[in-house]
Each structure stands twice: as structure tokens, then as C-alpha cells.
Amino acid sequence: MSEIKIAPSVFAADLGLLREQLAEMEQAGADLLHVDVMDGHFVERMAFGADHVRALRKLTRLPLDVHMMVERPENHLDSILDAGADIVTVHAEATTRLLSCMQKIHKAGARSGVVLNPATSEETIRYILDDVDMILLMTVNPGEGGQHFLPAVLDKIKCVRGMIDERPIDLEVDGSIDDKVIWSCYEAGANVFVSGGYLFKGSITENIAKLRKACE
């Protein structure tokens, strides 16, 4: 199993206190900063874009894990990569050029990743596993509020971990991740955990520590 990585989701941060919260995340040992890019089409919400990624790049040393919830991500990759993304994940459901996207991300010197919605079969990505560095499994429907963790995704995590085999691929989960469900995800095979609402309630430092401890 790869090392455990905690990825706070900046979408849940207090933008008025962003500089201070980023500093606290770094000091608390966060591993990545998860940045959701939403276009209002692939998902209902709109959030962030290349300019926001560029601004975040100036504010933090954390690697930027950019999750593109957009239609035809191939049309936006250049701007996101130029803005300073370290990891870019795109939805298998959003493009017919998935392999091309992975190759473009690698060519730019970043790490590539593919995302699957809860209802999308893991078989969708079986034949591109040698071209990805990260697989992100959504444990809620992306871009919708007020949801709860979907336990059925645990079986998918196990299946994908088996598909990965010995490949050096991170397996990330995103959606209602807290100190209660993180262990089940870790036990199933995930090693990267995106946390938003839970992590930013109260002390960021304490909540990062609780997430790590829950995996012990």
C-alpha cells in the first residue's frame, strides 16, 4: 500500500482566511491541496478555474491536486497546466479522449489522473492503467451538496486496488470523508483522502491528525 496522503479541499475553505488556513494545512502536514474546477455543465455548480489555480500556486508549497469537473477537459488542460497544477484528474465520463488527456498531462510534466463517478464501472479504466498516476473514486455524486458517503463504493475501491496491482498508482477518494468512514476506505485500498466539510470544521490541525489516526 502506498503512503497515506491527506488532501484538504480548498472548496470548503474560508476564502477570507485562506492564507492563514493554507499555512495551517502546511504546518499540520497536509500532503496535497485538492482544487475542484467546475464548469456549471458537467456538474451544476461553478467553481474555480485557471486563474484561481495560478493564485493558489503563489500562496502555498503544497502540490496542487486539480480535479476537473468539466465537459471536454481536453479543451482546458493547457490553461490548468500552465497555471501550475501538479496533478490533474479528469472524469472518464466527460471525454472521449481520455488517453489523449493523460498523455497531454504527462507531456506537460504533471501527474495524470482519471476520475469515476459512483455509478461508473471501474472497467472503464482497465486499459489505461499504465498511463495514469492517480485514480480518484467519487464517494458521492460530484458537485451536489448535502450528500452522504455511499458505502457501495467500498466494493469499487477494492476492485480498483486489485486492478492497480503493483503499479505505482495512488488511489484517491472524495466525498464526505471524515474520521468515521476513512478507515473503511483505507481498508478497502484507498491511500489518498480528500476532505472538505469535515476538515474545516474546528481545528484544521486537529482534524488532519484525527484522519491520520483513524487509519492506524
- Which are the contacts of 32, defined by CB distance < 8 A and separation ≥ 6? 5, 6, 7, 62, 63, 64, 65, 86, 87, 192
39: part of which helix (H) or strand (E)?
Answer: strand 33-39
Query: Coil, strand, or helix at residue 164?
Result: helix
Assigned C-alpha cell, 92: 472518464
35: part of which helix (H) or strand (E)?
Answer: strand 33-39
Using the predicted structure, report yes or no on whether residue 40 has a pLDDT greater than 90.
no
Assigned C-alpha cell, 32: 496535497
Tell me, what's the pLDDT at 45? 78
Mean pLDDT of 22-33: 97
Q: Are 88 and 53 in contact (CB under 8 A)?
A: no
108-153 tens-digit pLDDT: 999 999 999 999 999 999 999 999 999 999 999 887 666 789 999 9
167-204 tens-digit pLDDT: 999 999 999 999 999 999 999 999 999 999 999 998 99
Average pLDDT, the chain: 95
- Which of the two residues, 142 and 8, has the higher pLDDT score? 8
What's the CA gap between 151 and 167, in Å, rounded? 26
- List the alpha helices (DSSP H) in the chain: 18-28, 50-59, 77-82, 98-107, 153-164, 182-188, 204-214
User: How much of the chain, in percent, has pLDDT values that exceed 90?
Assistant: 88
Assigned C-alpha cell, 89: 484528474
| φ/ψ bin of 4: left (φ > 0), alpha (ψ from -120 to 50), beta (otherwise) | beta
Q: Report phi then psi at 197, rounded to 5.
A: -55, -45
Report the catalytic residues. Answer: 36, 174
- Which are the contacts of 45, defined by CB distance < 8 A and separation ≥ 6? 38, 143
Q: What is the pTM of this model?
A: 0.96
Tell me, what's the pLDDT at 104? 97
